Chains A and B, each alone.
Chain A
Amino acid sequence: MTELVTSPARGQSQAVRVLLRWSLYIALGFFVLIYLMPLFVMVTTSLKSLEEIRTGDLVALPRAVTFDAWFTAWSGACTGIKCEGVKPYFWNSVLIAVPAVAISTLVGAINGYVVAQWRFRGANIIFALMLFGCFIPFQVVLLPMARVLGIMGIAGTIQGLIFVHVVYGIGFTTLFFRNYYVTIPVELTKAAKVDGAGFFRIFWSIFLPLSLPIIVVTVIWQFTQIWNDFLFGVSFSQAGTQPVTVALNNIVNSTTGVKEYNVDMAAAIIAAFPTLLVYVVAGKYFIRGLTAGSVKG
């Protein structure tokens, strides 16, 4: 759009415009500082010694940079009784997120393809029912899910968490793919059918090659959701199967011993790293997922 606030309106002198432009940059810069401050504080605190934290300033740069807190956070910090850092839990999160993202994306792609391109009677109602499932507060399914996971024999396991994330992820993945495939004319599918191509053939040779952008959006969305999940992780895991978010919370809130703020901060950055990396590398797709996921029904 046009630069409304600082565009030359009637009666504005050059000086006023420069002043406005400067205050604009100052305001924007102020917000930038506010947003960066916590990350800055986390990084600098993680590089300080406990002694320096106690005596120093919250936003001061470390006088003597030390990576001790990082090593402790990775492989020595205590979560309750065990003291093995976030490392095993980080890998738990990887083991949960990778299959759950892959399966829910694949299922969402097929579902979206069916709902958008093979419109049979009732398909829209099924889609609406799935869509509503995206918005329920998960508290309402926690109790029965805990019992069902027990009956299935996967309570407290990585597989159980994968299962839960897939089940409650397909609503969103279906939504993403459906909204994407709906823009492709149904005539294309019809013509391919006339030519003798079947359901999977059409999906495989026509739709999948067109789908790269939406696959990226979906994978990023699902990965961020699952990696950052805490509610399912804390409700359905056991001592050895907790995801990294749960381990981080346990480290920070463990009451035994000296509070090691530098270790807390290093552990938090480690837990945040994968999703931050995804955001930095593919921010455009991340934002598309956010807006598609939360705005368009």
Chain B
Amino acid sequence: MTKWLEDHLPKLMLAPSFVAVLVFVYGFIAWTAWVSLTRSRLLPKYEIEGLIQYERLFASPRWDTALNNLYIFGALFIVIAMALGLLMAILLDQNIRTEGAIRTIYLYPMALSMIVTGTAWKWILNPGLGLEAMVKGWGFERFSFNWIVDPDMAIYTVVIAALWQSSGFVMALFLAGLRSVDGEIIKAAQVDGIPTWRIYTAIIIPSMAPIFLSAFIVLAHLAIKSFDLVIALTGGGPGFATDLPATYMYAMAFSRGDIGQAASSAMVMMAVVFAIVVPYLYSELRSQKDD
């Protein structure tokens, strides 16, 4: 008996976590998928009715706005965060004496809650008392910066706050990448008299392709999950102008009492994440097996 126990102990120790993951991740996804195919409203129903919830979802103007916002927000956030991160990493990678301190400053927003970030930017972007009022106070009476209350522009304030929060992190990724480029090749290129910008565009940046991919995955993942920042910054408003799929799902689940819509919108989010993360995880796990 003790021998059996000793032999199976590793499996037994892993078993509770395995069961937990099976139930609370995969079982729950299955539950949500199931309910997304029913007529559930306030309470879940379990008779499958087909794709009616998805038809309702894609017919809903609010969901339409949420998806559009995700495209705008996601694209701008990912592209600008990568560009800024790369720029800051290259600037920092020039034997700066105070590099450690500067790096710390670029990265600290990452330690903050999105709710804190949203609160801070909500105040800064407040047209009556924040940035706009300040510039007006400097004598530029006609200066206007009221994006946060403008339904057409409010989503861009979410981009600004998200960039402030996360671009330092992208910088850290790229900085690590720059440090791992073979110094010999660069020296050789310098000796050959190749101009610096060519060294970057032709040698260093192409060799960092895996890091671009990682940064993309991380940022895309952050963008899809973005919820707290919108809640704190704009509350999804003005109106529903800054709704994202995550806030739509939450509103349906907890304030509208529309479980069917909540489940189907969650499944769409899941599908998007799946499409991005699974190929990445698969290749990562494979490359680990190889070495």
One of B88, B267, B284 near A296 (C-beta < 8 A): B284
Per the 8 Å Cβ criterion, residues 87-105 of B in contact with A are 88, 90-96, 102, 104-105
- B interface residues, how many (CB within 8 angstroms): 109
Interface-forming stretch among B60-68, B71-79, B150-158, B223-231?
B223-231
A172 within 8 A of B: no
Q: Chain A residues with Cβ under 8 A from B183's Cβ? A: 1-2
Tell me, in angstroms, the Cα distance from A85 to B5 when the chains sit together: 52
Decide: A137 near B224, CB < 8 A? Known: A9-B195, A252-B232. Answer: yes
- A139 adjacent to B249 (CB under 8 Å): yes
User: Which one of B44, B116, B263 lies within 8 Å of A272 (CB-CB)?
Assistant: B116
Measured between C-beta atoms, what is the minimum distance from A294 to chain B in Å?
5
Q: Determine the distance from Cα of A278 to Cα of B108 in the docked complex, in whole angstroms.
A: 10
A114–B266 touching, CB < 8 Å: no
| Residue A31, interface by CB 8 Å | yes
Residue of B115, B186, B193 touching A248 (CB-CB under 8 A): B115
Bound Cα distance A295, B105 (Å) = 22
B281 at interface (Cβ–Cβ under 8 A)? yes
Complex CA gap A54/B134 in Å reads: 11
Compute how far the CA of A118 lies from the CA of B112 in the bound complex, rounded to whole angstroms: 38
Q: Identify which of A35, A234, A297 contacts B106 (C-beta below 8 A).
A: A35
Provide the bound-state CA to CA distance between A135 and B29, in Å. 13
Given contacts A31-B88, A42-B120, A276-B112, contact A141 B28 (CB under 8 A): yes
Cα distance, A123 to B217, chains bound together (Å): 26
Confirm or deny: A211 has a beta carbon within 8 angstroms of a beta carbon on chain B. Answer: no
A6, B92: Cα distance in complex, Å: 12
A290 / chain B contacts, CB cutoff of 8 Å? 110, 169, 172
B179 in contact (CB, < 8 A): yes
The contact of B113 among A34, A198, A230, A291, by CB within 8 Å, is A230
Is B129 engaged at the interface, CB distance under 8 Å to the other chain? Answer: yes
> B residues within 8 A CB of A271?
113, 115-116
A154 at the interface (CB under 8 A from B): no
In the bound complex, residues from chain B placing their C-beta under 8 Å from that of A286 are 111
CA distance A253 to B231 in the complex (A): 10
Q: Does A110 contact B (CB under 8 A)?
A: yes
Residue interface bits A138-153, CB-to-B below 8 A is 1, else 0:
1111111111100000
- Are B106 and A141 touching (Cβ within 8 A)? no
Query: A184 near B: Cβ within 8 Å?
Result: no
Chain B interface (Cβ < 8 Å from any Cβ of A): 6, 9-11, 13-14, 16-18, 20-22, 24-29, 31-32, 35, 44, 88, 90-96, 102, 104-117, 119-124, 126, 129-131, 133-134, 137, 164, 168-169, 172-173, 176, 178-179, 181, 183, 186-187, 190, 193, 195-196, 199-200, 214, 217-218, 221, 224-225, 227-228, 231-232, 235, 245-246, 249-250, 253-254, 259, 262-263, 265-267, 269-270, 273, 277-278, 280-281, 284-285, 288
Chain A residues within CB distance 8 Å of chain B: 1-7, 9-10, 24-25, 27-28, 31-32, 34-39, 41-42, 45, 53-54, 57-59, 107, 110-111, 114-115, 118, 120, 123, 126, 128-133, 135-148, 167-168, 170-171, 174, 198-200, 224, 227-231, 234-235, 245, 248-249, 252-253, 261, 264-265, 267-269, 271-272, 275-276, 278-280, 283, 286-287, 290-291, 294-297
Further 19 A-B residue pairs, CB within 8 A, beyond A129-B22, A141-B25: A2-B183, A2-B190, A28-B88, A28-B96, A35-B108, A35-B109, A42-B123, A54-B129, A58-B133, A126-B14, A130-B21, A137-B270, A143-B35, A230-B115, A230-B227, A268-B115, A278-B111, A280-B104, A287-B107
What are 30 pairs between A and B in contact, CB < 8 Å?
A1-B179, A5-B94, A27-B91, A31-B91, A53-B129, A59-B134, A111-B13, A111-B14, A129-B26, A135-B221, A138-B225, A139-B245, A139-B262, A139-B266, A142-B250, A144-B31, A170-B20, A198-B6, A230-B115, A248-B115, A249-B119, A249-B232, A261-B123, A264-B123, A271-B113, A276-B111, A276-B112, A290-B110, A290-B169, A294-B214
